[in-house]
Amino acid sequence: MSSDPDLTNFVGLSAVLTGYTTDQLFPPISPEPVAVEYLNTLKANVAATLVNQILTTFQNIAAQQPPNIDQEVQQQILDDPAMGPVARNIIRMWYLSIWYDLNQQQPITGFSAGTVVSMNAYTKGLAWDAAQAHPMGYSEMHYGYWATPPES
Amino acid sequence: MSAQKNYDVVIVGAGIAGAIAAYKLAQAGKSVLILDGGAEVPPDRSAYMEKFYLSMAKTPESPYPNDADDPRPLVLDINTWKDRPPTGYFVQNGPLPFASTYERVAGGTTWHWMGTSLRLLPNDFRIQSMYGHGVDWPYDYNELQPWYGRAEWEIGVAANVADQEYHGLTFSDPNDPSKPYNYPMPGILQAYLDTQLAAKIGNLTIEGQQITVSPTPQARNSIPFDSRRVCAGNTNCIPICPIQAKYDATIHIAKAQNLGVDVWYKTVVYSLSVDKTSGLISSVNYKQYDDPSGPATGEGSVSAGLYIMAAHAIETPKILLNSATNELPNGVANSSTQVGKNLMDHPVQLSWALMTDPLYPFRGPLSTSGIESLRDGDFRKQHAPFRMEIGNEGWNWANNDPWNSVNEFIAAGQFGSTLKSNLNSLFIRQFRFGSLIEQMPLETNCIVPSKQYTDNLGIPRPEISYDLDDYTKAGFADARDVAVQLFDVMGATDHTTVDPANSAAFTYQGQTYILNGAGHVMGTYRMGADRTQFVLDANQQSYDHSNLFMLGSGVFPSVGTANPTLTIAATTLKVVDYIIRSVLK
Amino acid sequence: MHLARKIICIIALCSFAAAAIAGCGGTQQTANSNAPPAPAPRLGAAPPPPGNLSSNLPHDADFSDNPSTLDQIQHDFDVFSWQSFVALNWPALADGSPDTSKIIGADGDNSTVWESYKESYEVFLPDGSTPLPWGQNQLPAACQGVAGSTAKVLRMTQKVSDEVLDELSQPFNTGPIVDQQNGKYARFEIRLNQDAFNFIVNNTLYNKQGQQAFTQFIQFPSGVAPTPTNPNTPVGAMLIKAAWKVIDPANGDIPGRYHTVQAYVYTQASDNPPTKESCQLVTMGLVGFHIAHKTQSAPQWVWSTFEQVDNVQPGAGLPPGAKLNFFNPACATCPVNVPPPKPWDPYQTLPPDKRSQIKRVIPIDDATKALNAQWQGWLKAVNPNSVWQYYELVSTQWPTQPSASLTGPNPTGSPAPPFLANTTLETYVQGKVPNVSSSCIMCHNNATTTNSKFSDFTYLLERAQSKGGGK
């Protein structure tokens, strides 16, 4: 894991928010870790105090090693009127590789305004993994793979 | 431009028709110039792919430049088609919006075609005589059959003949009808979901037709072909194949250029001139630009012995009508007054559903199979036929997924492993039918150069009037009914929604439907035996100007239910052969 | 996998047992297969080479420094690249094996080990027939007359006489590149080492029928690093792709900065563009060099790429005013990284304003530059006139997740660096756009046989023809 505590907390929080492991979100040896891009995007779009509040809150939750970390994150972060919308935007970012503008009509939909974080991010969107597929336009699989169900 | 050569042929448009024509003419030793309004073919597709990756809305046109000097319609324009001044390129008069789009870059709309390469059916060539609707072609399937074979080899189509011998389609060696025919490549493997759907449909007859899930002939590589890679299933034929496993017309532009064909890019043709004495076309008139959103940097004319219009079914009639003079008040090639009329599409009925078992969509080419069973039958006396394309991209077209559902679930408070597993359960069971309905020609469906609105170069924009007749609408309604029936048979849950406020909604017999475009722009300069009714003769030669030919889906008298590109290629090869043998000999 | 391993064992035994048994291909081409990993210099032989220069071809990267970060692993693979480059370009004996009595570049230039490898045209024959055994070369018919008339020249130059450059355009017809000095096209070739060749021959993958009949998942043999207890490990499959330019001192070329050969420049007949067949003997200089090596640590192969230092920027010691190979600094308006205008006629001499104007899109990183300086220094220490000092490593691509399933969703194993291009070999696809810009592993992941089976990261198997030459 990273020596940057912000990154460590961000990846830890992201794992709870997305349902993926920290190693999946931030592999130990990775040429283009998208977690770094996402943290940078978060910091570029959200006030530093709010980012700190989210990461610190998560750090405190994690330090206590609660039996149900999902429940703690929900109650302390997702249900918080200030932190909740940002946390949900973090989930959207991981799944769809998009940072949606927060100052627009809610709820955010597929047609809301936003920015694709990067080409690298697009190729690593989790929505495609959740579908046991690959990003449209970026497949690493071989001819005919579509004729049989995916490897589990 | 460089010093002008004496060209045998000038071709307007570097899409599939213009590129193949140029290549074949150059092979026969003719000197050829192509004029295209768009920028040159890029050395690689990275700029287009970058634009695609970073687009929020990954529409068919999202990878390509949207240049003010070379504008084209966008699919999202349809949301505001009634606005004045028009927000998009088209000026739409309704009553329904024309919902299809096309590209104006070199290579044309083959940059974002699906690759579906179906032949028209024998009865598609004679719907008036068989069923009392539409118009017959000036020739029959047998006359086009060898050219279909040659077209399939020219662009590279993957299919097995045994899968395609339905509704009277016959196949034989183009050069020796006594010999059997083989496609150049074996058929693309069907997606898992196709075989699941086929199994669940089982033995079913609708409107007298046995329902069969057929593998689709596709212009994409199932084996290495023509120095291009095998399809890797990037699931992105539209908007852009990242690895060019799918045919696009840049392949024939390159081949034509390697035979000495000249291509002038960023050269927008706006009219043709006619010699008053001979009545022959005397020049093609164009404007040129440097900066795609800047002013015209040049204006000129180019002449040749023969002229070929291959600018697709909106721009070609726009240019012909924009060429009106005192001597030719109806425009060029328009003694029939039919130029620009009978604009057609394959209106698409989308129905989407969830299967009980996993289907694993979003994997492989966007569509590998279809139900072709209802493309022909006695029912064509009552309503339009249709083919049902089986989408392999879940509810991507239908519901902008995965984006919409991910956002919907997150807005509902889902996160973590619950979110992940719920998304999985939803996405792996999604599928849809896109039924492409045969549209009947209507004189009132037309495109004219706008008198009010021009583009950045001062060239009139296309003004379009469009509607569906009741026979077509009845086919549309039937396609919806059949989809519901199939969902029922398969035990799938229908999730199709219809918003009456949708800008493309229409009603038929009390039901509301949403019109979608297939991207199949057809009609507008049709060929036929009667020069008072048609613009071109059966050789696609202008009745009015013997040195003017036209190519593309604009020549189709009626459109059947086959995606038009293969027929564009086949008719192009047929016409160019005629030109080489009989006109430029 | 098992089959592949077995084949390798048989070869190793053969080379031990007999020098030249037909079918086994004679002696192994590398020192490592039949000698301990680090042979002591023989008495009376050349003095030990400077630094880490060695004729020993590494079978895999050496991770004995226990790397734990991406940069450290990258370093180990970059060292592997340089070791491979030096061993492959080591002076060769007549049979192609390294001459351990000599040192690379001691004579300025030298014939090389890899130039005796099989060229792809010798393996995938027009009639799909069995290739000649290892060690026996085959010239295209058009070159055979040329050979007779110029035999003297070959002897005089002491250069390898079987170099046939039969490739014109870059992959997928992205276009040729044109030399700034003389307006001629660069030429390419692809060669296979004995392990790659044997795998293809033993499994009859050199024709379409053999590929149809081969039902297993294609896996070329992997290189395995020798250990004291297991010194006789396989080299693994290696594929070499080289780019060459015409060397003509009259046009400003400085031959002493290139590895040069008298090569048969073979142009195949073609309909598009219309091209006549020909074969000419021409002095060519090496400008680009790919090594793809399948190893135990990299089932996605290790991809090393080298360039001559003057390709697109002036290399060290280039005299002021001397031209670069593929870039003209004086032309501000020449379009950059754009192929020459069509028709792409290999016989034409393009005027200066139509010659290639190529820039490197992704710079060589600092750590690789430092490593280059070190190895170039060793090469220069052998002989200040060594041509080998004028080559540089661009980078090495390797899989960060080598254990990724080759039939799963991410068979490429997340390569590092994600993009890698040689300005002479992936000229027009440089950049950082996923699935389009040059990434060795990502692109070669799309490679198949003639019947569209995954071909283990090599496009060579697509070249197989039908047995008997029919369809």
Q: How far apart are CA B21 and CA A82, in angstroms?
A: 63
**Tokens of residue B12, six digits:** 């307007």
Question: Is B50 in contact with C433 (Cβ distance < 8 A)?
Answer: yes
For the segment B375-401, the average pLDDT, to the nearest whole number, is 97
CATH (domain of B544): 3.50.50.60
Domains of chain B: total: 1
For the segment B506-533, the average pLDDT, to the nearest whole number, is 98
pLDDT band at C45 (very low <50, low <70, confident <90, very high): low
**3-class DSSP assignment, residue B526:** coil
Q: How far apart are CA C243 and CA A49, in angstroms?
A: 56
**What pLDDT, on the 0 to 100 scale, is given for residue C471?**
58
Q: In B265-368, at which residue ranges do the beta strands (DSSP E only) sit? A: 267-274, 281-289, 296-302, 304-309, 348-354
- 3-state helix vs strand vs coil in chain A, percent to 5: 55, 5, 40
**What pLDDT, on the 0 to 100 scale, is given for residue A1?**
52
Q: How far apart are CA B556 and CA B576, in angstroms?
A: 16
In a domain, B52, yes or no: yes
In chain B, residues with a C-beta closer than 8 Å to the C-beta of A95 are: 402, 406, 410, 419, 423
In a domain, B543, yes or no: yes
Of the residues B182, B229, B234, the best mutation for testing chain C's interface (the one with the most C CB atoms within 10 Å of its CB) is B229
In a domain, B53, yes or no: yes
Question: Is A129 in contact with C409 (Cβ distance < 8 A)?
Answer: yes
Of the residues C169, C333, C342, the best mutation for testing chain B's interface (the one with the most B CB atoms within 10 Å of its CB) is C342
Question: Is C428 in contact with B232 (Cβ distance < 8 A)?
Answer: no
**3-class DSSP assignment, residue B244:** coil
Of the residues A23, A25, A29, A116, the best mutation for testing chain C's interface (the one with the most C CB atoms within 10 Å of its CB) is A29
Which of A31, A138, A140 comes nearest C400 by C-beta?
A31
Q: How far apart are CA C94 and CA C347, in angstroms?
A: 33
Residue type (1 letter), B190: Q
In chain B, residues with a C-beta closer than 8 Å to the C-beta of C172 are: 227-229, 244
Distance from the Cα of C186 to chain A's closest Cα (Å) equals 31
**What pLDDT, on the 0 to 100 scale, is given for residue A109?**
87
In a domain, B324, yes or no: yes
**Partners for A (CB, 8 Å, 3+ pairs)?**
B, C
Alpha-helical runs (H) found in C18-69: 31-34
Q: Which of B485, B487, B374 has the alpha carbon at shortest distance from B437?
A: B374
Cα four-point dihedral sign C327, C333, C336, C340: negative
Question: Is C274 in contact with B259 (Cβ distance < 8 A)?
Answer: yes
**What pLDDT, on the 0 to 100 scale, is given for residue C48?**
86
Contact C248, C283 (CB under 8 A): yes
Q: How far apart are CA C171 and CA C428, in angstroms?
A: 10
Residue bearing the bigger pLDDT, C165 or C336: C336
Spell out the per-residue pLDDT of chain A, length 152, in tens: 567 999 999 999 999 999 999 999 999 999 999 999 999 999 999 999 999 999 999 999 999 999 999 999 999 999 999 999 999 999 999 999 999 999 999 899 888 999 999 999 999 999 999 999 999 999 999 999 999 999 87
Residue type (1 letter), B454: T
In a domain, B276, yes or no: yes
Distance from the Cα of C435 to chain A's closest Cα (Å) equals 6
**Partners for C (CB, 8 Å, 3+ pairs)?**
A, B
Question: Is B224 in contact with C436 (Cβ distance < 8 A)?
Answer: no
Q: Is B529 on the interface with C (CB under 8 A)?
A: no
Q: How far apart are CA B38 and CA B69, in angstroms?
A: 9
Distance from the Cα of A51 to chain B's closest Cα (Å) equals 19
Vertex B221: Cα angle to B215 and B223 (nearest 5): 100
- Helix (H), strand (E) at residue B92: strand B91-95
Q: How far apart are CA B191 and CA B335, in angstroms?
A: 50
In chain C, residues with a C-beta closer than 8 Å to the C-beta of B50 are: 433
Q: How far apart are CA B110 and CA B258, in angstroms?
A: 20
Count contacts between A and B (CB, < 8 Å). 173
Q: Spell out the SS3 assignment of B436-499.
A: EECCCCCCCCEEEEEEEEECCCCCEEEEEEECCCHHHHHHHHHHHHHHHHHHHHHCCEECCCCC
How many residues in chain B? 585
Q: How far apart are CA C171 and CA C444, in angstroms?
A: 11
Question: Is A141 in contact with B365 (Cβ distance < 8 A)?
Answer: no
**Tokens of residue C119, six digits:** 């060229």
Cβ-count burial of B513 within 10 angstroms (0-12 exposed, 13-18 middle, 19+ buried)?
A: buried
Question: Is C175 in contact with B43 (Cβ distance < 8 A)?
Answer: yes
Number of other residues whose CB lies within 10 A of the CB of residue C317:
14
Cα four-point dihedral sign B556, B559, B561, B563: positive
Q: Which has the minimum average pLDDT: A87-91, A113-117, C9-13, C143-147?
A: C9-13
In chain A, residues with a C-beta closer than 8 Å to the C-beta of C70 are: 29-31
Q: Which residues of C touch B (CB under 8 A)?
A: 172-175, 272-274, 337-339, 341-344, 428-429, 431, 433-437, 445-448, 450-452, 462
Question: Is C442 in contact with A140 (Cβ distance < 8 A)?
Answer: yes
Number of other residues whose CB lies within 10 A of the CB of residue C272:
18
**What pLDDT, on the 0 to 100 scale, is given for residue A111?**
84
Count contacts between B and C (CB, < 8 Å). 70
**Partners for B (CB, 8 Å, 3+ pairs)?**
A, C
**What pLDDT, on the 0 to 100 scale, is given for residue C280?**
87
Q: Is B54 on the interface with C (CB under 8 A)?
A: no
In a domain, B548, yes or no: yes
pLDDT band at C317 (very low <50, low <70, confident <90, very high): very high
**3-class DSSP assignment, residue C368:** helix
Which of A16, A114, A139 comes nearest B233 by C-beta?
A139
**What pLDDT, on the 0 to 100 scale, is given for residue B427?**
98
**What pLDDT, on the 0 to 100 scale, is given for residue B5?**
79
Packing angle, helices B403-411 and B416-427, rounded to 10: 140
> Whole-number mean pLDDT of chain C?
86
Q: Is B242 on the interface with C (CB under 8 A)?
A: yes
Cα four-point dihedral sign B357, B361, B364, B365: positive
Q: In B201-329, at which residue ranges do the beta strands (DSSP E only) sit? A: 205-206, 209-210, 213-215, 262-264, 267-274, 281-289, 296-302, 304-309
In chain B, residues with a C-beta closer than 8 Å to the C-beta of A133 are: 235, 360-363, 427
**What pLDDT, on the 0 to 100 scale, is given for residue C44?**
52
Which of C274, C344, C448 comes nearest B230 by C-beta?
C448
CA atoms within 13 A on the CB side of B422: 15
Contact C112, C189 (CB under 8 A): no
**What pLDDT, on the 0 to 100 scale, is given for residue B567?**
98
In chain A, residues with a C-beta closer than 8 Å to the C-beta of B403 are: 96, 98, 110, 127
Number of other residues whose CB lies within 10 A of the CB of residue C319:
8
Q: How far apart are CA C190 and CA C425, in angstroms?
A: 11
- Torsion angle of C-alpha atoms B107, B108, B109, B112, degrees rounded to 10: 40
Residue type (1 letter), C81: S
Distance from the Cα of A65 to chain B's closest Cα (Å) equals 17
Which of C70, C407, C417 comes nearest A29 by C-beta?
C70
Question: Is A141 in contact with C415 (Cβ distance < 8 A)?
Answer: no
Residue bearing the bigger pLDDT, C93 or C35: C93
> Whole-number mean pLDDT of chain B?
97
**What pLDDT, on the 0 to 100 scale, is given for residue C143?**
81
For the segment B381-391, the average pLDDT, to the nearest whole number, is 98
Residue C32 has pLDDT above 60, yes or no: no
**Tokens of residue C206, six digits:** 């050199």
Question: Is B43 in contact with C338 (Cβ distance < 8 A)?
Answer: yes
Contact C283, C246 (CB under 8 A): yes
**What pLDDT, on the 0 to 100 scale, is given for residue C139?**
80
In a domain, B463, yes or no: no
Distance in Å from the first CA to the final CA of chain C: 31
Q: How far apart are CA B539 and CA B296, in angstroms?
A: 36
Q: How far is CA C22 from CA B428, C18, C27, C171, in A?
A: 56, 10, 11, 35
For the segment C37-44, the average pLDDT, to the nearest whole number, is 48
Question: Is A122 in contact with B54 (Cβ distance < 8 A)?
Answer: yes
Q: How far apart are CA B506 and CA B483, in angstroms?
A: 18
In chain A, residues with a C-beta closer than 8 Å to the C-beta of B196 are: none
| Residue showing tokens 């780019």 | C243
Domain that includes residue B554, residue range: 1-60+98-156+247-341+525-585
Q: In B275-405, at which residue ranges do the beta strands (DSSP E only) sit? A: 281-289, 296-302, 304-309, 348-354, 369-371, 386-391
- Torsion angle of C-alpha atoms A34, A36, A39, A44, degrees rounded to 10: -100
Find the residue in B nearest to C459 (Cα): B229
Vertex B501: Cα angle to B348 and B450 (nearest 5): 70
Find the residue in C nearest to B50 (Cα): C433
**What pLDDT, on the 0 to 100 scale, is given for residue A2?**
66
In chain A, residues with a C-beta closer than 8 Å to the C-beta of C445 are: 140, 142
**What pLDDT, on the 0 to 100 scale, is given for residue C37?**
45
Question: Is A19 in contact with B50 (Cβ distance < 8 A)?
Answer: no
Residue B331 has pLDDT above 80, yes or no: yes
Count contacts between A and C (CB, < 8 Å). 59
Find the residue in A nearest to C449 (Cα): A143
Q: How far apart are CA B576 and CA B306, in angstroms?
A: 12
Distance from the Cα of A26 to chain B's closest Cα (Å) equals 16
Q: Please give the radius of gyration of chain A, using alpha carbons only, rounded to the nearest integer.
A: 16
Output DSSP code: residue B173: B
Contact B332, B272 (CB under 8 A): yes
Q: Is B50 on the interface with C (CB under 8 A)?
A: yes
Question: Is A91 in contact with B419 (Cβ distance < 8 A)?
Answer: yes
Q: How far is CA B121 from CA B324, B521, B575, in A?
A: 37, 19, 20
Q: How far apart are CA C109 and CA B346, in angstroms?
A: 67
For the segment B280-288, the average pLDDT, to the nearest whole number, is 98
pLDDT tens digits for range C436-445:
999 999 999 9
In chain C, residues with a C-beta closer than 8 Å to the C-beta of A2 are: none
**Tokens of residue B567, six digits:** 């027929």
pLDDT band at C145 (very low <50, low <70, confident <90, very high): confident
**What pLDDT, on the 0 to 100 scale, is given for residue C337?**
96
pLDDT tens digits for range C400-427:
999 999 999 999 999 999 999 999 999 9
Q: For the complex shown, is ipTM > 0.85?
A: yes
B413 Rama class: left (phi>0) / alpha (psi -120 to 50) / beta: left
In a domain, B227, yes or no: no
Q: Please give the radius of gyration of chain B, using alpha carbons only, rounded to the nearest integer.
A: 23
pLDDT tens digits for range B199-247:
999 999 999 999 999 999 999 999 999 999 999 999 999 999 999 999 9
Output DSSP code: residue B381: G
In chain C, residues with a C-beta closer than 8 Å to the C-beta of A134 are: 409
Number of other residues whose CB lies within 10 A of the CB of residue C362:
17
Q: How far apart are CA C190 and CA C458, in angstroms?
A: 11
In chain B, residues with a C-beta closer than 8 Å to the C-beta of C439 are: none
Question: Is B362 in contact with A136 (Cβ distance < 8 A)?
Answer: yes
- Torsion angle of C-alpha atoms B246, B248, B251, B257, degrees rounded to 10: -170
Q: Which of C250, C319, C326 has the alpha carbon at shortest distance from C283?
A: C250
Find the residue in A nearest to C398 (Cα): A31
Q: Which has the minimum average pLDDT: B290-294, B515-519, C30-34, C375-379?
A: C30-34
Output DSSP code: residue C326: S
**What pLDDT, on the 0 to 100 scale, is given for residue C148?**
44
